[in-house]
Chain A
Amino acid sequence: MNFWADALEKWNDTIALCVSDRTMKYLLAVVIFATAGGLFFWQMNVAQMPDTATVQENAQAGNPFGDDSTEVGSLDDDTNREVEVEDEDGGTTSAGTGTATVPAGGASTGSVIRATLKLHNKQDDCWVAYKSVVYDITRWLPRHPGSAGAIVPYCGTAEEFTAAFTKQHGTSKEGRLKQEAVVEGALSN
């Protein structure tokens, strides 16, 4: 016990010696914030750089952007360009003009009957309907902040999922759902 008490006392004395000056304390705080800032910029660069192996793999497969993207058309010389979205029949639908961004999910203009929706009721194949639009959230499930288990019971459901989603998030996460999920179509009876 004496050893530990002595060690703690020496630790306290060391701290007092090193940072007794107020300037040293401010300097230490600046170093800490600079370190945190460095971590921020480092991870920003890491987040913006694609994983090399993935890029090479997707390039060989003929799709440099990977499976999560939807081809929206070719670039013109103008900044504003016609954006076309491929529908499930193989044709294209104009999505207007402007700067195109490749969404994480695809889009389908078909409809999904309830019986089909109910078949997709597992964690590795999870469809839900929110306000009569069917979404495939299988790929996004592992990234749900509240854990995938919170949503799995609602896979294959429509009104139940809508009610639970609204109760938990209100309308604040609607945009996120539409951004992250793959739209399968409108729900029909």
Chain B
Amino acid sequence: MSTQGQWGLTVIRVGLAAVLLWFGREQLLHAADWIGYVPNYAMSLSGLPATTIVLANGSAEIAFGLLLFLGLFTRISAFVMGVHLALIAFSLGLNQIGVRDWGLAAALFGIALAGPGTLSIDGDASH
């Protein structure tokens, strides 16, 4: 891939990481504002209250957001977050928020396929 393409991947990767880190932080600090998004099947399957699910989700998004930001285990992190966002988008449906989440999921799947780009631990470190 050309240098421009590598930098393009880096821009997308870092941008998606920033989104995940922001949403993760918001869910940890203001969990009560997010419990409306928790689908009923998540509570019934896990047996956990909505607040706990929100906090766990926020922690996971921060963890994977950091991995994406550093470009560490990029493909697996991007794939996992892509599936996660696709599930969220599916539960939200086709509305203002759901459609945007579909777009983010698609971008994450793109990173999972194309790789981390430049300025990444996966791409720069020798194995």
Contact = CB atoms under 8 A, between A and B. Distances in A.
User: Does A associate with B in a complex?
Assistant: yes
Interface of A: 8, 11-12, 15-16, 19-20, 22, 25, 28-29, 32-33, 35-37, 39-40, 43-44, 47, 143-146, 168, 172-173, 175-176
B89 interface: no
A144 B34 CA distance: 8
Q: Which secondary structure dominates chain A's binding surface? A: helix
B62 interface: yes
B56 A40 contact: yes
A36 B93 CA distance: 29
**B interface, size bucket:** 35 or more
Contact of A176 (B36, B70, B95): B36
A146 B97 contact: yes
Given A8-B119, A11-B119, A12-B118, 15 more contacts: A12-B119, A15-B124, A16-B126, A25-B73, A35-B62, A36-B59, A39-B62, A40-B56, A40-B59, A43-B58, A47-B31, A47-B51, A146-B97, A172-B39, A173-B36
Contacts of A173: 36
A26 B35 CA distance: 33
